[in-house]
Amino acid sequence: MPALFYHVTQSAVEDVVASLLSRALSQGWRVELRGRTPERMDWYDQKLWLGPEEGFLPHGLAGGPHDALQPVLLTHAPRPEGRQAVMAVEGAEVTAEEVAATERVWILFDGRDPMAVDHARGQWRALTGAGASAQYWSEEGGRWEKKAEK
């Protein structure tokens, strides 16, 4: 499966995260939500806890005694073992090996942040240069559209 790059321009990144996590869990996948710092993963943890009760997404922060049981594991260090999907936010790194070994890899980036866009372009080049396939999706027009594939 290709790495799916999501260029978020209309929505809040955390809303796209919640939507994709909901779909992944409905597929029966266990997901690693990977960020760059423990503080930001704490922030995502709070956002997921404060979401609507009927749309609650079961999750936990990495480092607890039940990491292996968490449907969604929030971490700042790669822990994809036993996970069918990896979702990287805020520039968290993903390897071509992870793309090949999982059902799905999402790389979400805030299109309103020029540094995030530049970083995502670098990730695209690194992954495709290492032999991973990738798709670029943009919500620029108000809905998700595939704009490129390699």
Mean pLDDT of the chain: 92
CA-CA distance, 55 to 36, in Å (whole number)?
26
Q: What is the pLDDT of residue 80?
A: 61
Q: pLDDT tens digits for 58-75?
A: 899 998 888 989 999 999
Per-residue exposure over 11-28, b if at least 16 CB sit within 10 Å of its own CB, e if not: bebbebbbebbeebbeee
Rounded mean pLDDT, 27-33: 95
Share above pLDDT 90 across residues of the chain, in percent, rounded to a whole number = 77
Domain that holds residue 142: 3-149
Q: What is the pLDDT of residue 5?
A: 98
Q: What is the pLDDT of residue 101?
A: 92
Listing DSSP states for 62-124 in one string gives TTSTTGGG-SEEEESS---TT-SEEEEETT----HHHHHHSSEEEEEEETT-HHHHHHHHHHH
Determine the 3-state secondary structure of 142 from DSSP. Answer: coil
Assess contact for 36 and 75: CB atoms under 8 A: no
Assess contact for 138 and 147: CB atoms under 8 A: yes
Q: pLDDT tens digits for 88-136?
A: 999 999 999 999 999 999 999 999 999 999 999 999 999 999 999 999 9
CATH of residue 135's domain is 3.40.50.10110
Judge whether residue 49 has pLDDT over 90: no
Number of folded domains in the chain?
Answer: 1
Q: What is the pLDDT of residue 81?
A: 75
